[in-house]
A and B are shown apart, each in its own frame.
Chain A
Amino acid sequence: MWSKTRPRRPAAFDEELLALAAAVYDTAVRLTRSAAMAEDLVQETFARAVAAAERFEPGTSMRAWLLSILMNLFRNHQRARARHPEVELDEEALPAVEEEPPLPFAAITPELLDGAVAGLPERLREAVVLRDLQGLSYLQISEVLRIPVGTVMSRLYRGRAALRKLLVPGVLEVAGKRFSGSGP
């Protein structure tokens, strides 16, 4: 514990924290879909991380720890806005993908990906961003989102299916092919 007599915080902690700033900002932008709100969340995330540095357990993932703080702040922000919920895709209306005809996913561009991720329903977007963009494990995601690992797997499955569906037209266009219209 760092108390009045505790030693100075290790410099390595600060360096690792700052090295993760871009990843935290990228996640915040994708969660909020607003650069201005993302900046506010990231500043608050780092302020809280510094204030609660003694709670970080060395040897564990600082990325997952920071993203947990970010997610808590984002949840609080969303609760404050609960009276005016965003209009989003109904995640139940997004079909699960059983059949997956081969598609040229090497043709996914950063712009296509940005648009498709932003179009995902919030819960599915969280799972996809944390796993496929930030590389967290299922267990880390379950801790960040405070949900069981089974729910992580379910959301990730549906999130990837929805992401694939959103990407297909653009990917086919980029690849110079015609969209068959038979679904993802």
Chain B
Amino acid sequence: MNTSCESVRQWLPAFVDGEALPLGRAQLESHLAECAECARRVAALGGFVDGVARAHRARPLPERLRRELERTVRGGGVHDVRRRLVPVLAAAAVLLLITTVALAALRPSAARAATLPEAAVLGHEGVLQGSTPLDVAESDPLALSGWFAARLPFRVHLPRLDNPQLHLRGGRVIQVGGSLAALVVYAIGEEQVSLAVVPRSQELGRPPATAAEVFRDIRFEFTHLRGLHVTTWDDGGLTYSLVSSQPPQGGASCTVCHGPGSGLRGVEGFHEPR
């Protein structure tokens, strides 16, 4: 590399991006015409940037959000009509605020769930009631694992399902305290079962367990929250909370996922919680 190359190379990205250069563009182009290595680098970077631009697909704007934004923008201007409505809107806002505060006092929001079991239950209810729908509907465990991998700072490996009654419905990213967690939603017949997962290091505590069971050095804790049954355990670097309206039935519950073709270890020998 000669001095000329050294002085030129730091500006090659700016050249590819069409940005202003401290040395003239013609001067740099003249150098590229004579220097095969610099020209190769420009071609490689240009190819990469073009490849990225071609592959970029903007995430589709959710229809509900689009309508919200239209309301915000078209209804949010400074119009005479709106000014006349200000007192009415203010009164409505106060009423809404009072209602919201009252409701919030009665029912904690998913965003304020401090523990994984609570977040799992609120996420489960939200999906069930449609108030916080799935971020993605996906029936393929591998695809959903990949979807989470792109959104979470940890890996969730979902097992293959070999139980014909068990169907993967999709997933949602939820919050536990200030951390992100995965909520995986299954259906067994008419029953919804949700599994929340968060890195063990991010878990902030748990509600008291009503029963516990240790199996293969893993402690399974059972509790009831908001009328739902929650089983929580640590495995590897992750903490899991499983939510269902049905009480856990020892190994029978586990074999729903840990079937022979799931790729997971078998759970023979797991018995009822004591």
Contact = CB atoms under 8 A, between A and B. Distances in A.
Interface string B49-81: 111111111111110011011101110111100
B56 A8 contact: no
Interface of A: 2, 6, 8-9, 14, 17-18, 21-23, 25-26, 29, 33-37, 39, 42-43, 46-47, 50-51, 80-81, 83-84, 86-88, 100, 102-103, 105-115, 118-119, 131-133, 137-138, 153, 156-157, 160, 163-164
Contacts of A88: 153
B154 interface: yes
Given A26-B58, A36-B173, A153-B13, A18 B73 contact: yes
Nearest to B201: A87
Given A115-B146, A153-B14, A22 B61 contact: yes
Interface of B: 13-14, 17, 19, 41, 44-45, 47-62, 65-66, 68-70, 72-74, 76-79, 132, 135-136, 146, 149-154, 172-174, 177-180, 199, 201-202
Contacts of B48: 100, 103, 105, 160, 164
Contacts of A106: 47, 51, 54
B56 A22 contact: no
A1 B150 CA distance: 43
Contacts of A111: 146
A17 B179 contact: no
Given A43-B65, A112-B55, A160-B13, 12 more contacts: A8-B79, A35-B136, A36-B132, A43-B72, A47-B72, A83-B178, A84-B202, A100-B44, A100-B45, A108-B51, A110-B57, A113-B52
Nearest to B154: A87
A100 B146 CA distance: 27
Given A6-B78, A100-B44, A156 B13 contact: yes
B153 A9 contact: no
Contacts of A87: 153-154, 199, 201
A125 B253 CA distance: 41
Contacts of B47: 102, 105-106
Contacts of A100: 41, 44-45, 48
Contact of A115 (B13, B150, B173): B150
B51 A46 contact: no
